[in-house]
Amino acid sequence: MTSESQITAWLATQHDAMITLLREMVDIDSGSYNKPGIDAVGAVVQRFMAAQGIPIQITQQRNHGDTVRAVVPWDGPAGNAGGNIVLMGHRDTVFPDGEVSRRPFTIRDGIAYGPGVADMKAGLVMNCFVLAAFHKFGGSPAPLVGLFTGDEEIGSPEGRAVIEAEARRARVVFNSEPGRVSGNVVTGRKGGVFSAFRITGKAAHSGGNFSEGISAIEEIARKIQAIHALTDLDRGITLNVGLISGGQSVNTVAPWAEAQIDLRYVEPGDRDDAMARIAAIIERSYVPGTKAELTVKGEFLPLVQTPTAKRLFEIYVQAAADTGFTTAGEFTGGCADSGFTAGVGTPTICAVGPVGGKAHSPDEFLRVESLVPRAQACARAILRLDQAGL
C-alpha cells in the first residue's frame, strides 16, 4: 500500500480517539492569560507525542503558554527536504477561567460544544493525528513539524518570534484554525493592531470649581470620533474603539480616561499610514491642557495570497476533493498567526482545521464528522507538495 492509502485508512479508524483527545483538551480552561491552563493543554500534546514516540521541544515563555514543537523525523535523504512542513495551532482560548465547569465538552446530534472546541482545539487534535500518521507510515516529503503555541488570541506577543523563526525555515505552513461552516479554508486575512491610549486631564469640583478642571472625558470623546472617522470600508480599513473607561465621580471634571483601539486593514502598505493618523490624533489636544499617550498592545500581519500560496491552496482543494468534500478559499477580517508565517514569505494556508463556527461565543460548535476528513485532506496535501513543486 502507498503512504496515502495507509495514512487515510488509519486516520479513518481514529475518530473515537480524536474525540477522546478533544474532550480532554476542551475540558481544561486555557484563556490567553491562564499560563498554567495553556501549559496543561501543552502537557496533553506532549503525552500524546510521547505515546507515539515523536520527539518534543519546548520553548518556555514567561507570561503565556510555552511553545510546544513536535518533529516527525524525515525518512528521506538528508539536506534535501527544502525546509520543514509546519502544522500550526494555538492552545489558548478567549474564555475566562470557570467556563469549562459552566459548559464542559458535550456532543449533541453530531455537534460538539465547549470553550475552544472549534477555535482551535479540534485543529490541535487534527494536527496531532496527522503527525502520528506520518510517523507510523512515513511518506512525508520533508520533516513534519507540529507547532503548538500559547498566546494567539491576544496577538502572540511571546509566540510570534518562535512562529516567525519556524516559518523562515519552512517550505509551507498549514494553520489549523477552524474550517468555515461552508467547508471553505481561508486564503486572506486582514492585519490588525491593538493599541491603547490614556489621557490625563485635571480634576476639579464640577460645581464649585468647574473652570479649573480639564476634562479627559471630553478629550477622549473627541479623539474617538476622530479615530472612528479614519474608517475606510472601501479599502477594508476599520477602526473600533472597543473599550473605554475614565473619570473619578459624577461631580468631578474627569482627570483621566483611557480606551483601546482595534485597527484592521487589508493592504500591508496601509498599516503605517493608519497608525500615523492615529498617533496624530492622540498627540493633538482637542481640549487644551490634556495630554495623551499611545501604546501598541498586540499586532497581527495580514495574510496575503502569493502565487506559491495559491499553488498550495490548489493542492489542498484537490486533496479535499479526493477526500470527498469541496472547499474554496475565502477572505476574513479576523486575524491569525498565519499572517506572521505569510509575512516572512512562507506559503501558508489557513483554516484547514475541522469545520466549526460561532467562535469566541458560548454557541461555538464543531461538526464532529469533519474531524477525520479534514485530517485526511491535510495529509493528502502534504503528500503532494513535491509534485506541485512546493
Contacting residues toward Zn ion, per CB under 5 A: 119-120, 177
Q: How far is the CB of 49 from Zn ion (least distance, A)?
A: 21
Where are the alpha helices (H) located in 329-387, listed in sequence order?
338-343, 371-383
What is the nearest approach in angstroms of Zn ion to the Cβ of residue 150?
12
Q: How far apart are CA 22 and CA 179, in angstroms?
A: 16
Distance in angstroms between the alpha carbons of the first and the last residue of the chain: 24
Q: Closest residue (Cβ) to Zn ion?
A: 119
- C-beta of residue 311 within 8 angstroms of C-beta of residue 390: yes
Q: Whose Cβ is closer to Zn ion: residue 180's or residue 198's? A: 180
| Strand ranges (E), 164-323 | 170-175, 178-179, 185-189, 191-200, 204-205, 238-246, 252-253, 256-265, 291-300
* Separation between Cα atoms, residue 390 and residue 378, nearest integer Å: 15
* Residue 42 Cβ vs Zn ion, minimum distance, rounded to whole Å: 16
What is the DSSP-derived secondary structure letter of residue 21? H
Nearer to Zn ion (CB atom), residue 177 or residue 219 = 177
What is the smallest separation between the CB atom of 319 and Zn ion, expressed in angstroms? 22
Report how far apart, in Å, the C-alpha atoms of 238 and of each of 122, 228, 235, 281 are.
30, 8, 9, 16
The CB-of-65 to Zn ion minimum distance in angstroms stands at 13
| Beta carbon nearer to Zn ion, 356 or 373 | 356
Cβ closer to Zn ion: 70 or 186?
186
Q: Give 4 or 337: the residue with its C-beta nearer to Zn ion.
A: 337
Residue whose CB is less far from Zn ion, 66 or 177: 177
**Residue 352: closest CA among 120, 147, 170:** 120
| Cell numbers describing residue 85 | 512542513
